[in-house]
Amino acid sequence: MTFARVVAAEGTRLASVRSTGWTALATVAAAASVALGLGLFVQTGDGTSGTALVVSGAVVAQLGALVLGVLVGTADYTWGTATTTYTAVPRRLPVLAAQALVVVAAALVTAMLALAASILVTAAQRDTAGLPLALAEASSWRPLAGFAVYIVCVALLGLGAGSLLRHPAAALVSGIGLLLVLDSALAANPGRICDTVRSLLPGVGTRLLQDDAQVAATEAANLGPTLGVGGAALVLLGWVVVVLLAAAVRLRHSDVTMAARQ
Amino acid sequence: MTAAATDRATSSPTSRPAPTTKGPTVLRVVASEWSKLVSLRSTAWTAAVTVGLTWVTAYLSANASSGDPGFEPLSSLSQGLVLSQLSMLVLGVLAGTGDFRAGGFRTTFTAVPRRLPVLMAKVLVTTLVGGVVAVVSLAALVLGVLPAARSRDIPLDLTAQWTPQVLLGSGLLLLGMALLGLAVGSLVRRTVLAVTVALALVFVLPVGFVLAADLASPPQVGVSTETVVTELDPVSTVMELMPSNAAYRMTTTPDSAGPDGAPDLGPVGGGLVFAAWILLPLVAAGIRLRTRDLT
C-alpha cells in the first residue's frame, strides 16, 4: 500500500460522494452572492477597494470549507468503513496525510472558483462605483491569495476536527465556535485580555483577506499584541498543525472500530 | 401458548388486565419521544455545555466590566447567552435528526402512521427538556454575575426594574433556539446539513450582514450630530428581522432603542418574529412529513 495509492483511494472517495460537489457549489454560490449583495450597497468614495469587495464572501464561504473538511474527516466513522480502511493501511497516519492532501486540493479548487465567481459577479458594480481591481499591483494580489490560503486552512481545520472528534455535528460546532462565535463574543467586550485571546484564535486568519489599509485599521483598534498579516498567518497555521497533530495522535493510539453514531 | 402457561397468566395475582385502548395514543407517543430524547447522549452533553458556557461567559463578562464606575451587574446578564444559544441550537437539531440518523424513523412511523403526532410530541418533549435546561442556565447566569457584584458590594435584586422581563426573555431565547434547531433538523433530516443550515441561519448570516452594514454606511465626515436617522435602512431592517437579532431583542428592555435604521420591534415584537422563524421550518417539516415518502 504505497502512499500514492492511499492518496488515490482518498481522492476517489472524495470525488465520488455527491455531497462534495454540492458543498463546493454552495460555497462558491455563497461567496459570490455575498460579494454581489455587498456590491449593490457600495458607494463611490467609501474608501473600499475592489479586492475588499471581491473577498468579502470569505466569511460565509468558510462555512462551506469547514463542512468539506469535516465531511472528509468523519467519512470513515459515519459510514462505518474505518475498520476496512485501517485494515488496508495499518500504519494509519498515511490515511490522514492523504486526506489532508485531498482536502487541500479540493479547497484550493473551490477557493479559486469562488474568487472567479466573485470577480465576475461584481465586475459591473465595480466599474460603476469606480473600484478598480488593479491586478497589476502586488498589494491587490495579497488579499486574493490570502482568501485561498484562508479557505484551505479552514478546510484543514475541519479535517482535523472531524478526524479528532469523529462526529460531524461536534466537529462542525467546534469549528464554527472557534472561528466565528468565540471571536464575535470576544469582540463585543474590547479589552486587553479579550483582544489578546482573540489574537490567538484561528479567526485572525481574516487578516489575510485585508489589504494594507484595513490591516492598519484593525491593528490600531486591537489592544492585544500586534500581529500583522505574517503573524496572523502563523497563528492560523499553528492551529492547523496542532489540530491535525491531535487527530494524528488519537488515530495512532486509539481504537477506530467503536465510533458511536450518536 | 400451552394450557399451563395460560393458567399461570390468568391465575397469577400480579397479572394486570390487558389495556383497553389500542395503538399509539397521544400519551404513548409523548412517552416514547421522551425516552428517545432523554436517552440520546448528545442531549446530556449539549445541556451540560449550555449551562457551563452560560456560567463562564456571564462570569467573564461581569468581571471584565466590574472595573467600570457605573457597573451594573444585571446589565451583563444578556451577555451570558452568546455562546450557550449555540449549544441549545445543536441540542434541538440533534433531537430533530435523531430518528433519521440511524434509521429508527421506519419503526416510529410504522407504529404511528398518522405521522404528525410524532412531530408534535417531539416539539412538546423538546420544550420540556429545553425549558429545564433554560431554567438551569438562568440560574447559572445569575450565579455568574454574583462574584463580580459581590466584589463591588452591589446587592443583586432580581425583582428590580426590568430584570424579571430580561430573565424571562433570556429563558425564552434559549428555549426558542432549541425549538428552532428541532424545526430545522426535522425538515432537513441529515445531520451535517441540518447543523450547517441552522448555524448559518443563526450565526454566519448576521456576520455577513454586519460586513454589509460596514461597507454600506456613508462616510461620517460632516454629518451634524442633530440629525436623527429616521428612515429605515434596508440592511439594518433585514438584520433586525434575522432570528438571532429578533431573539436578542427579547432579552432587552422595552425602553432601550434598537439599532439605527431598523424598525423598533421591542421585546414582544422580537419574540413574535423569532416565533415566526421557528414556526416556518416546523410547518414545512410537518408538510414534508405528511405529504412525502419517508425513505
Confidence of residue B13 (pLDDT cuts 50, 70, 90): low
Q: Which candidate in A34, A51, A131, A181 is best for mutational testing of the B interface (most B CBs within 10 A)? A: A181
Confidence of residue B246 (pLDDT cuts 50, 70, 90): confident
> Does A31 lie at the interface with B, CB-CB under 8 angstroms?
no
Q: Which residues of A touch B42 (CB under 8 A)?
A: 169, 262
CA atoms of B153 and B134, how far apart (whole Å): 28
Q: Which three cell numbers stand for residue A40?
A: 449593490
Task: Give the pLDDT confidence score for residue A99 in this predicted structure.
Answer: 96
Mean pLDDT of chain B: 81
CA atoms of A254 and A86, how far apart (whole Å): 12
Looking at per-residue confidence, does A11 or B207 come out higher? A11
The total number of structural domains that make up chain A:
1
Confidence of residue B262 (pLDDT cuts 50, 70, 90): confident
Type of residue at B83: L
Q: Which residues of A touch B203 (CB under 8 A)?
A: 176, 180-181
Question: Given a cut of 70, is residue A215 above it in pLDDT?
Answer: yes
Residue at B15 is within a domain: no
C-alpha distance from A169 to closest chain B C-alpha (Å): 6
> Does A253 lie at the interface with B, CB-CB under 8 angstroms?
no
Q: Which three cell numbers stand for residue A142?
A: 495579497
Select from B79, B102, B196 the Cβ nearest to the Cβ of A67: B196
Residue at B9 is within a domain: no
Q: If you search the block for the grid coordinates 474608501, which residue do you land on?
A: A47
The range of the structural domain enclosing residue A92 comes to 3-261
DSSP code, position B154: -
User: pTM, whole model, 2 decimals?
Assistant: 0.82
Select from A172, A180, A261 the Cβ nearest to the Cβ of B195: A172
CB–CB of B28/B113 below 8 Å?
Answer: no
Confidence of residue B227 (pLDDT cuts 50, 70, 90): very low
CA atoms of A78 and A167, how far apart (whole Å): 8
- Alpha helix segments (H runs only) across chain B: 3-11, 26-39, 41-65, 84-101, 105-111, 116-151, 163-188, 191-199, 205-216, 234-241, 243-250, 266-291
Residues 63-82 of A with CB under 8 A from B: 63, 67, 70-71
Confidence of residue B225 (pLDDT cuts 50, 70, 90): very low
Question: Given a cut of 70, is residue B218 above it in pLDDT?
Answer: no
CA atoms of B51 and B96, how far apart (whole Å): 21
Task: Give the pLDDT confidence score for residue A51 in this predicted structure.
Answer: 76
Minimum CA–CA partner of B83 in chain A: A181
Select from B87, B196, B211 the Cβ nearest to the Cβ of A38: B211
Q: Which three cell numbers stand for residue A87?
A: 485494515
- Asked if A56's CB is within 8 angstroms of B196's CB, the reply is no
Quickly count: other Cβ atoms within 10 Å of residue B163's Cβ: 17
Q: What is the pLDDT of residues B87-112, one digit of tens each?
A: 999 999 999 998 888 788 999 999 99
Q: Which candidate in B40, B90, B193, B211 is best for mutational testing of the A interface (most A CBs within 10 A)? A: B211
Burial state string for A199-210 with b = 16 or more CB within 10 A and e = fewer than 16? bebbbbbbbbbb
Residues counted in chain B: 295
The two counts, helices (H) then strands (E), for chain A are 13, 0
Q: Which candidate in B43, B63, B91, B192 is best for mutational testing of the A interface (most A CBs within 10 A)? A: B192
Q: Which three cell numbers stand for residue B280?
A: 416556518
Burial class, B197, CB count within 10 angstroms (exposed 0-12 / middle 13-18 / buried 19+): middle
Residues 133-152 of A with CB under 8 A from B: none
Task: Give the pLDDT confidence score for residue A136 in this predicted structure.
Answer: 65
CA-based R_g, chain B, Å: 24
The range of the structural domain enclosing residue B281 comes to 24-154+162-215+232-291
Minimum CA–CA partner of A44 in chain B: B218
Helix (H) or strand (E) holding A94: helix A93-121
Q: Which residues of A touch B65 (CB under 8 A)?
A: 189
Counting residues of chain A whose pLDDT is more than 70, the rounded percentage is 91
Task: Give the pLDDT confidence score for residue B178 in this predicted structure.
Answer: 95
Q: Which three cell numbers stand for residue B193?
A: 446539513
Counting residues of chain B whose pLDDT is more than 90, the rounded percentage is 35
Confidence of residue A122 (pLDDT cuts 50, 70, 90): confident
Task: Give the pLDDT confidence score for residue A104 in this predicted structure.
Answer: 97
CA atoms of B210 and A165, how far apart (whole Å): 31
Mean pLDDT of chain A: 85
Q: Which three cell numbers stand for residue B218?
A: 456613508
Question: Given a cut of 60, is residue A117 above it in pLDDT?
Answer: yes
Residue at B126 is within a domain: yes
Q: Which residue, among B58, B273, B44, has the nearest Cα to B173 in the 3D structure?
A: B273
Question: Given a cut of 60, is residue B224 above it in pLDDT?
Answer: no
Question: Given a cut of 60, is residue B219 above it in pLDDT?
Answer: no
Looking at per-residue confidence, does B199 or A130 come out higher? B199
Q: Which candidate in A17, A25, A67 is best for mutational testing of the B interface (most B CBs within 10 A)? A: A67
Task: Give the DSSP letter string of A224-248.
Answer: S---HHHHHHHHHHHHHHHHHHHHH
CB–CB of A38/B212 below 8 Å?
Answer: yes
Mean pLDDT, range B136-159, rounded to an integer: 82
- Asked if A189's CB is within 8 angstroms of B79's CB, the reply is yes
Q: What is the pLDDT of residues A37-76, one digit of tens each?
A: 777 776 665 556 777 778 888 888 889 999 999 999 999 9
Q: Is the ipTM of this complex over 0.90?
A: no
- Asked if A177's CB is within 8 angstroms of B64's CB, the reply is no
Q: Which three cell numbers stand for residue A88?
A: 488496508
Residue at B1 is within a domain: no
CA atoms of A84 and A91, how far apart (whole Å): 13
Confidence of residue A18 (pLDDT cuts 50, 70, 90): confident
Beta carbon pairs, A and B, within 8 Å = 96
Question: Given a cut of 60, is residue B2 above it in pLDDT?
Answer: no
Mean pLDDT, range A133-152, rounded to an integer: 81
Residue A241 has, within 13 A of its CA and on its CB side, a CA count of: 6
The mean-pLDDT minimum among A53-57, B12-16, B162-166 falls in B12-16
Question: Given a cut of 90, is residue B118 above it in pLDDT?
Answer: yes
CA distance from start to end of chain A: 32
Select from B199, B208, B212 the Cβ nearest to the Cβ of A41: B212
Select from A48, A173, A189 the Cβ nearest to the Cβ of B195: A173
CA atoms of B127 and A82, how far apart (whole Å): 37
The total number of structural domains that make up chain B:
1
Residue at B118 is within a domain: yes
